[in-house]
Structure 1
Amino acid sequence: MKLLALTGRMLRPLCAMALAWFATAASAGGGLQVVTEELPPYNMTQGGRITGMSTEVVQAVLKEADLQASIHSMPWARAYDTALNGENVLIYSITRTPQRETLFKWVGIVAPTRWYLFGRPGVGASIRSLDDARKFQIATVNEDAGEQYLVSKGFAVGKNLQSSNKYEFNYEKLKLGRVDLWIANELNALYLMRQAGDDPERQFVRVLELPDLASDGGLHLAASRKTPDATVERLRKALETVRHNGSYEAIRRHWQ
């Protein structure tokens, strides 16, 4: 009996230490999930797997941080809501805007970006400012940074904004003349145009650059507010390493 009692007293602190270790591991990366959308060439599904410029950077960051996480592609509004309300959720490629600043914990830039209003030649030639664009129909994606930005400037879905859930739908609308303009990330727009066999420099025009949407020049990896600070800091350090050891630049050159 004495031996059993002694053994029990010895096991209790060991069990407590084990529980503490598992709790730390869980807070550092347990149950971590990553959400994204179809935004080629940044994030896209090819041959049943998610790839793209931002995806490769995020995968390199997770590997450097020694964190395991599954990546799920879904419509942007769903991905955004998942990251907005979930626990231990990462989201990319997300634009960092004043409207979103306090809604997420920001890890850092995973890809370059520039935003424009695109149009067909001869359409929107008189546009010199965003106010000039109010009389035109503009294609947007539901809850993406472009749509949120235009709404914050007084544009309205159903009035001068036509919202959809896929970027390629908006390109088709522009190409077929169903909208006058398309607000888009430059690399995504050029990729979709070329994939369709079109020449972006001859068939489409960058009507107006929107520097407010790319004030820091990049698309980000961000975490939900319910992600532990320790996990976010671990990811920030990993991203810094990836950017300094040449991995980020090699991935960028491959995709641009």
Structure 2
Amino acid sequence: MVLPFNRLLVLVVLMLVTAGGFSPNAAAEAPLRIVTEELPPYNMTQDGRVTGMSTEVVEAVLKEVGVHASIQSMPWARAYELALNESNVLIYSIARTPARESLFHWVGAIAPTRWYLYSLADRPVKLNSLEDAKGFQIATVNQDVGEQYLISKGFRIGEQLQSSTKYEHNYRKLKVDHVEMWISNELNALYLTRQNGEDPDKVLIRSLPIPDLSSDEGLSMAFSRNTPVETVEKFRAGLATIRRNGVYDAILRKWL
């Protein structure tokens, strides 16, 4: 039997599509991947398990929506790239900024945050404005919101900004005088200082608050753009439920 040319062409295309492993529902079929970074006390690995304040909120949402998925901790730049480019990726704790608004499907806020430029009490830096900070060396984390914010204000990596992959590296840079300031989330700064056996009230100086990055709902959960809308809506509803039933507030009280 000889097939008409049009039918033959359709069959060939279907065979090629099948052989290539492509599915029109590929985004829906991709397993959920959850990524974050080491940002204690929001997210951190202890005894081989990711925990922390934001992590507990995410886990509560997963339980509420009946989804089982493991959480991977990795350098922020890698987690950010995965969430930008892959399907079915959930990223947290991510700051929601105007520059990032269209890059992700935002689920909602999961933790408060306050940002400062910090210096050391034995080498205090006094600033009247962010512009004054351009005369100093500042420790940042690669592609995190603090670094992105300073770059948007005219700071340059390799000039004023000394970028690294881990927050604890920046605290060490400040301590050994490799930099004069450190841009950091307040809870993270306090946690790392205490982990070093020091009293933050005696060691750290808040040289300048960063109000543009600070709010009671500063850190969020977000999905990559190529994620089914149904998944995003399910997680939004789950987060709204744990906020309404008191689970969210209980987690924050535990950690704060």
Q: Which residue of 1 aligns with 2:57?
A: 57
> Is 1:136 aligned with 2:136?
yes
Q: Counterpart of 1:74? A: 74
Further displaced range: 80-89 or 124-133 = 124-133
Q: What is the aligned partner in structure 2 of residue 35 from structure 1?
A: 35
The residue that corresponds to 1:3 in the other structure is none
Q: In the alignment, which residue of structure 2 is the partner of 1:210? A: 210
Matching residue of 1:183: 183
Cross-structure match for 1:223: 223
For 2:225 and 2:154, how far apart are their aligned partners in 1? Answer: 28
Cα distance in 2 between the residues matched to 1:242 and 1:175: 40
Question: Counterpart of 1:243?
Answer: 243
SS at match of 2:102: coil
CA separation of 1:166 and 1:64: change in aligned 2, threshold 3 A: same
Report the TM-score when normalising by structure 2. Answer: 0.87
- Where do 1:5-44 residues align within 5 Å? 31-44=31-44
RMSD: 1.7
List per-residue Cα deviations over 1:98-140 (Å, max 9, x = no partner): 1111000100111111100010126454301100100000000
Q: Shift of residue 67 of structure 1?
A: 1.6
The structure-2 alpha-carbon separation of the partners of 1:29 and 1:111, relative to structure 1 and needing over 3 Å to count, comes to farther
Does the CA contact (< 8 Å) of 1:114 and 1:217 recur in 2? no
Equivalent residue number for residue 159 of structure 2: 159
Identity %: 63
Contact 1:95 1:214 in 2 (8 A): no
SS at match of 2:227: coil
Q: Distance in 1 between matches of 2:27 and 2:202?
A: 52
Q: CA deviation at 1:170?
A: 0.1
Q: TM-score normalized by structure 1? A: 0.87
**1:84: how far off?**
0.4
Give the counterpart letter for 1:180 in structure 2: E
Could you give the per-residue CA deviations for residues 136-195 of structure 1, whole angstroms, max 9, x where no partner exists? 000000000000000010000000000000000000111111110000000011000001
CA distance in 1, matches of 2:161, 2:125: 19
Q: For residues 39 and 75 of structure 1, what CA distance do their matches in structure 2 show?
A: 10
How many residues are matched? 233
Once the two structures are overlaid, the 10-residue window that deviates more, 123-132 or 85-94, is: 123-132
Flag structure 2 segments of 5+ consecutive residues without an equivalent: 1-22
- Please tell me whether the aligned partners of residues 114 and 213 of structure 1 are also in contact (alpha carbons under 8 angstroms): yes
Query: What is the Cα deviation at residue 204 of structure 1?
Result: 0.9
Query: For structure 1, which segment, 119-128 or 154-163, has the greater mean C-alpha deviation from structure 2 after superposition?
Result: 119-128
SS in structure 2 at match of 1:217: strand
Paired with 2:28 and 2:77, the residues of 1 have a C-alpha distance of 27
Alignment deviations for residues 61-94 of structure 1 (CA, whole Å, 9 cap, x no partner): 0111112222111000000000000100000000
Residue type of the alignment partner of 1:200: P
Shift of the 216–254 alpha-carbon distance from structure 1 to 2, 3 Å rule, reads: closer
- Alignment-mate amino acid for residue 69 of structure 2: A
SS of the residue 1:102 aligns to: helix
1:96 aligns with 2:96: yes
Q: 1 CA distance for matches of 2:29 and 2:254?
A: 29
Q: Is the 8 A contact 1:62 1:68 kept in 2?
A: yes
* Partner residue, 1:47: 47
Letter of the 1:55 counterpart: T
How far apart are residue 216 of structure 1 and its match?
5.9
Q: Which amino acid aligns with 1:199?
A: D
On the 8 A contact 1:44/1:52 being kept in 2, the answer is yes
Provide structure 1 residue ranges, at least 5 long, that are not aligned to the other structure. Answer: 1-22
